[in-house]
Amino acid sequence: MSSHKFLVTGATGETGRSTVQRLLEEGHAVRALVHKEDERAEALRGKGAEVVIGELLDHDDAIRAAAGTSAAYFCYPVRPGIIPATAYFADAAKRAGLKVVVNMSQISAREDSNSHAARDHWIAERIFDWSGVPTVHLRPTFFSQWLLYLFARTTIVEQGVIDLPYGDGRHAPIAAEDQARLIAAILAEPAAHVGKTYTLHGATELDQAGIAAAISEVLGRRISYRPLTIPQYRERLEKAGLPEFLIQHFCAIAVDYQNGIFSGADRIIAEVTGTAPMTVQDFVALHREAFTTTSAAA
């Protein structure tokens, strides 16, 4: 067992859950910060993590979570509040003397983004930089897990169609599991990474038609790409009841995608971890059952 204890925030989310699992497998002690006590928190506890309940928007909770840990993974969801949450966490990290904070940002983060969320992520990066806390910023392209979310998976399962409004843009979908391997590696040995910003990509860059073909190859049935317009996409998201903050973000980054902001292929995960990230085919094969039903439990 390692003498270090690593803090993972957002520990029931995609990258957080996988990072906890990876760190535990490598023999590290892990403190998992979760929003509430539920079956997901209990599952983390059952795997050996110390689970603490708290809010990133509560300064005292951030201080309590960071105390006694040596490094942390910071992940805030796409919703309002990341700027104060980052300020609180940077202060907590400084008090705890953390050797590194691995900060989950996004590939569209920039000061002139039309997405309110992406611009807030850019400011959050700057807060960590100004704080003096040793930080590594991660800017992932779209997760492979997007294919599993109902707004994408429903049309794949029921209609054999990907209809996201991404035009001729390209990206290499990156699985949360592969990001977690990199996060765990940086937390364990941060020296070579502190102060750097990494864009994260999967193994192979594809356009949406190429992604549809890769899914077809694994499922053995034809999946095609027939994109919505962005106004049609907005209407569907509104009918699904998504918050306006998230809808505005999704529509703004759809334009970013069309303009090439999300493009690229892996340049860091294979180098640091020794294992290349999954292809789309690998990911779909791993989650094959999810592509046979659109039930919320899938």
84 within some domain:
yes
Asked whether 155 and 232 are in contact (CB, 8 A), the reply is: no
The string of pLDDT tens digits covering residues 166-204 is 999 999 999 999 999 999 999 999 999 999 999 999 999
**What are the counts of helices (DSSP H) followed by strands (DSSP E) for the chain?**
12, 11
Q: What is the CATH number of the domain that holds 178?
A: 3.40.50.720
Q: How many domains are there within the chain?
A: 1
127 burial via Cβ count (<10 Å: 0-12, 13-18, 19+): buried
- Is the pLDDT at 294 greater than 70? The verdict is no
**Rounded mean pLDDT of 138-167?**
91
Give the range of the structural domain holding residue 88, as residue numbers without chain letter: 5-141+172-201+265-273
Q: Are 278 and 203 in contact (CB under 8 A)?
A: yes
d(CA 15, CA 174): 11
Considering only CA atoms, which of 148, 281, 115, 280 is closest in space to residue 201? 280
Mean pLDDT of all residues in 31-52? 96
> Which residue reads 């390209």 in tokens?
170
Predicted pLDDT at 297? 41
pLDDT of residue 2: 59
Residue-level pLDDT at 291: 86
Element (H, E) at 199: strand 197-200
pLDDT of residue 295 exceeding 80: no
Segment 272-296 shows an average pLDDT of 88
Tell me the C-alpha distance between 169 and 181, whole Å. Answer: 27
* Model pLDDT for residues 116-127, shown as the tens digit of each residue: 999 999 999 999
pLDDT for residue 238: 95
- pLDDT of 164 over the 80 cut: yes
Q: Is 266 left (phi over 0), alpha (psi -120 to 50) or beta?
A: beta
Do the domain assignments include residue 153?
no
Which H or E element spans position 51?
strand 50-53
Is residue 290, in this structure, part of any structural domain at all? no
Mean pLDDT of 217-232: 96
Residue 160 resides in a domain: no
With cut-offs at 50, 70 and 90, classify the pLDDT of residue 85: very high
DSSP 3-state of 108? coil
**CA distances from residue 246 to 79, 118, 122, 279 in whole angstroms, order as listed:** 7, 11, 17, 27
User: For the chain, what percent of residues have pLDDT higher than 70?
Assistant: 97
Asked whether the predicted pLDDT for residue 293 surpasses 80, the reply is no
Q: Is residue 101 part of a domain?
A: yes
Residue 54 resides in a domain: yes
Q: Give the span between the Cα atoms of 224 and 162, in whole angstroms.
A: 6
Residue 231 lies in a domain: no
Query: Is 44 within a domain?
Result: yes
Mean pLDDT of the chain: 95
Instruction: Note the pLDDT of residue 150.
Output: 76
